[in-house]
Structure 1
Amino acid sequence: MGEGTGQAPATAHGPDAKAAPGPGRDAPFGPGRDARLSAAVERARHGDEGAFAEAYRLVHPGLLGYLRGIVGDDAEDVASDAWLEIARDLGRFRGDGAGFRGWTATIARHRALDHLRRVRARPRHTRFDQDLSELPAAGDAAGEALDALSTERALALIAGLPQDQAEAVLLRVVVGLDGPSAARVLGKRPGAVRSAAHRGLRRLAEQLKGRGR
């Protein structure tokens, strides 16, 4: 990417990084945004620094929310490391906007796990044993309940889930990945990730019901 690639990751500590998207309808994904992201990524791959900045703005809020669910207050530092790697390796990326979100989530997750190992915080291992097909739709009861919460409170609730459920919910609802993409990020089968997300959303719905939101 050249010298300009460091500019977008540096903003991980700026105003744009202060608020991750709400985990529901306002998250930065959908057909229109994915089309914009696809075009921006393609231009960025050929050295367009403005396009890289646009791709960063579209992807970073969800990525930061995902990292907050894994490493908490260290999310911005981990995100900065991830974006440096993304910028460095962008020329090798091949895919569309949805693929780019999955690719960046994979890089961010690796950096997060590296960070946890460095601080000797052992990540909880995932255990999946069900083979179902797809992640639950964002419009189910738990997803709608999460829409009604502030981002900070929603992420706090998600972070309190078991690790496998938290990551599945974050990838599905915050980052906006589909079942196969989330499974590739986690190195698991789509059905197993769907099961973890379903259990997590069901648990969140029960918590929200018990607290009266």
Structure 2
Amino acid sequence: MARVEEDELGRALRAAQDGDEESFRMLYRDVQPRLIRFAGALVGGDAEDVTSEAWLQIARDLPSFRGDLDGFRGWTATITRHRALDHLRRKSRRPGSDLPIEELVSMAADTDTEVDALDGIATGDALRLIGELPPDQAEAVLLRVVVGLDAKSAGKVLGKRPGAVRTAAYRGLRRLAERLPAPREDAADARPLVRGDKSGGTGAEGVT
């Protein structure tokens, strides 16, 4: 079912580039929840303003976009990040978040991410824990877990190599995992806290 949905969204991307409004709305419904949570982690309660600005640019530049669905998600995240940083510069304040914790946790993507590292975190602590990570690790975790990008796409957003993003996400997730309660011994299907990366390696290369 998920694969069919991804294929349908891929077709919608092409149709939206040709001006089909219903296809554009389909893309918006897929991407906006991810972007609003990503922006929320950067600018707090101003996330809607930031994503509104981002969508103005997305709609304007969509016909000239070149890439697949994953590339589109990464492209929209890049635009949103730029708008968020512009917003913070205008406000002259550091990133914060007023986003409800449960919304961030419930938005974790389910493909090609280390989502399992967030399993078991109390919703009241999730954003605080992520916010306590070093900035590079926090952004890597947000892009991988919240937006659902793979390491290559997240690297493009941050202007870093995929390996650097994998390492930052791995280190951040390990820090989060160390703060989680130990899994129950009677757990029937316990899963590892940090999963491998489809794009190669676990991200642990060089980690001490």
For normalisation by structure 2, the TM-score amounts to 0.72
SS at match of 1:161: coil
Instruction: Tell me how many residue pairs correspond in the alignment.
Output: 166
Q: Which residue of 1 aligns with 2:167?
A: 195
Q: Which residue of 1 aligns with 2:113?
A: 138
Q: Which residue of 2 aligns with 1:58?
A: 30
SS at match of 1:106: helix
Q: 1:95 aligns with which of 42, 55, 67?
A: 67
Task: Work out whether 1:186 is the aligned partner of 2:158.
Answer: yes
Q: Using CA pairs below 8 Å that are at least 6 residues apart, which structure has the higher relative contact order?
A: 1
Structure 1 residue 96, shift from structure 2 partner = 1.2
Structure 1 residue 176, shift from structure 2 partner = 1.0
Q: Which structure is larger by alpha-carbon Rg, 1 or 2?
A: 2
- Partners of 1:69 and 1:158 within 8 A in 2: no
SS at match of 1:209: coil
Task: Work out whether 1:76 is the aligned partner of 2:59.
Answer: no
Q: 1:161 aligns with which of 107, 115, 133?
A: 133
Q: Which runs of 5+ in 1 are unaligned?
A: 1-29, 124-136
Quote the Cα distance in structure 1 between the aligned partners of 2:158 and 2:140. 8
- Partners of 1:64 and 1:75 within 8 A in 2: yes
Quote the Cα distance in structure 2 between the aligned partners of 1:181 and 1:102. 5
For normalisation by structure 1, the TM-score amounts to 0.70
- Partners of 1:33 and 1:58 within 8 A in 2: no
Q: 2:82 aligns with which of 99, 102, 110?
A: 110
Change (3 A) 1:199 1:78: same
* Structure with the largest fraction of helix: 1
- Partners of 1:69 and 1:166 within 8 A in 2: no
Quote the Cα distance in structure 1 between the aligned partners of 2:31 and 2:134. 25
Quote the Cα distance in structure 1 between the aligned partners of 2:61 and 2:125. 34
- Partners of 1:69 and 1:156 within 8 A in 2: no
Alignment RMSD (CA, Å): 2.3
Q: Give the letter for the 1:121 counterpart.
A: R
Quote the Cα distance in structure 2 between the aligned partners of 1:110 and 1:53. 23
Q: 1:85 aligns with which of 41, 57, 60?
A: 57
Change (3 A) 1:100 1:153: farther
